[in-house]
Amino acid sequence: MNLLKSPLRSLLHLWCLCVSLVALVAEPNGVLGQTNETVWLESWNDCPTKRALVEYVGRVSDPNHKDFVPVPERIAVFDNDGTLWPENPIPFQLAYAFDIVTKRAANDLEFAKEPMVQAVLNKDIATLTAGPKHEGLLQVVAMTHAGMSTEEFSKSVSDWIQTSKHPRYGRGYDKLTYVPMQEVLRYLRQNEFKTYIVSGGGADFMRVWSERVYGISPEQVIGSAARMRFEMRDGKPVLIKTLDNLFVDDKAGKPVGIQMGVGRRPVVCFGNSDGDYEMLQYTTIGNPRASFGAIIHHTDAEREYAYDVAPKSTGKLVVGLQEASAQGWFVVDMKSDWGRVFEE
């Protein structure tokens, strides 16, 4: 295979290297861009989180720094609802379930008579969330997330996300991702981090659009999931969705989901709610690698929702906000830290 003699090849390599370097420097997204936060995090105002993130990334990607993290270990995990896109007035996956139930009820009068279908139609959240395990909601999830093949479910989600609109913003749910967080995803990937979604939402629900919307491939989506059933139907293999052995990828389940799906401890974690506290602990406490943790704090009633400004619950979010300073977790004040929230 050596078409060219060795000294000539060496010369060519040297040439190639020089020319490539010049070309990279001349590119807006080239080598110099990697450390230029004005390009990568342009929707962020100057704030402690932005400064710390840039400093952290610079440190762990510098092979001469004691905190250097080898590329395969650069795992960054992100909650989805409330961290990468809103979770109000209801989590978007629940909006999907309600829309599907509503649509089916219009064509199926027997189905429409069922009490929990009635509760959906009447927006009777109290009935749906009654009981310690929110049995009503679980019934709605079962109606809309089980009994069909993964392909049928994917198609249903894909159709929905391309046609439905958020009640407040009047645009598709997939057009409501937080621009500053999209920038963090790209900035980390540019610095050879692998970005994962680790969400209480359904893995199969997110995987339909995660690559298009966040640039996160299905393999890097970890979420709640039940055990599917493999079947041959009409001579073709299908996976049927069930609710058996449901794994809830939330709270203490998140580190478990990470171990099952990644098998490595993350070094970067962004979350926002009660459900993300243990994932923050797992990423940052006692990690032999230098790590970075942040909480998105919903403080902006004007552009988004200010639902956790003064949380009254005794949930883990309150604990997380209280502990943040001691743990070295950064708290993102959406109102003051983000120059914009959504794509214009």
Residue among 95, 121, 130, 252 that touches its own copies (CB under 8 A)? 252
Give yes or no for residue 63 binding its own copies (CB under 8 A). Answer: no
Least Å distance, CB 2 to its own copies, is 6
319 binding its own copies? (CB under 8 A): no
80 in Cβ contact with 206 (< 8 Å): yes
Residue closer to its own copies, measured from CB, 125 or 148: 148
Among 142, 228, 318, 321, binds its own copies (CB under 8 A): 228
Closest separation between CB of residue 187 and its own copies, Å?
16
For its own copies, which stretch binds (CB under 8 A), given 10-18, 53-61, 113-121, 319-327? 10-18
Answer whether 145's CB lies under 8 Å from 243's CB. Answer: yes
Q: Of 116 and 226, which CB lies nearer to its own copies in the complex structure?
A: 226
Length of the chain as a residue count: 344
Nearer of residues 113 and 227 to its own copies, judged by Cβ: 227
CA 156, CA 209: separation in Å to the nearest integer? 12
Burial per residue of 173-200, b for 16 or more beta-carbon CB atoms within 10 angstroms, e otherwise: bbebbbbbbbbbbbbbebbebbbbbbbb
The reply to whether 282 sits near its own copies by the rule CB under 8 A is: yes
By CB under 8 A, the count of residues binding its own copies is 60
The answer to whether residue 7 forms part of the interface with its own copies (CB under 8 A) is no
Residue 118 or 217 with smaller CB distance to its own copies:
217
Task: Using the Cα atoms of residue 79, residue 83, residue 87 and residue 93 in order, give the sign of their dihedral.
Answer: negative
Q: Considering only CA atoms, which of 93, 120, 139, 100 is closest in space to residue 249?
A: 93
Q: How far is the CB of 319 from its own copies (least distance, A)?
A: 13
Q: Are 275 and 251 in contact (CB under 8 A)?
A: yes
Please give the structure tokens belonging to residue 136: 């009503």
3-state DSSP call for residue 64? coil
**Which residue of 70, 89, 147, 218 would you call a contact of its own copies, by CB under 8 A?**
218
Q: How far apart are CA 276 and CA 284, in angstroms?
A: 12
Spatial distance between the Cα atoms of 137 and 158, rounded to a whole number of angstroms: 22
Site string for its own copies, 127-166 (x = CB under 8 A): -----------------------x----------------
Footprint on residues 167-196 left by its own copies (CB under 8 A): 194
Q: Establish if 225 lies at the interface with its own copies (CB under 8 A).
A: yes
C-alpha–C-alpha distance, residues 84 and 272, integer Å: 10
Residue closest to 295 by CA, chosen among 50, 88, 83: 83
Is 285 a binder of its own copies (CB under 8 A)? yes
> Measuring CA to CA, which residue among 84, 82, 125 is closest to residue 307?
82
Confirm or reject binding of residue 247 to its own copies (CB under 8 A).
Answer: yes
Question: Which residues sit at the interface with its own copies, rule CB under 8 A?
Answer: 1-4, 9, 12-13, 15-16, 19-20, 22-23, 25-28, 30, 32-33, 36, 39, 72, 150, 194, 203-204, 207, 211, 217-219, 221, 225, 227-230, 232, 235-237, 239, 245, 247, 252-253, 255-256, 259-264, 278, 281-282, 285-286
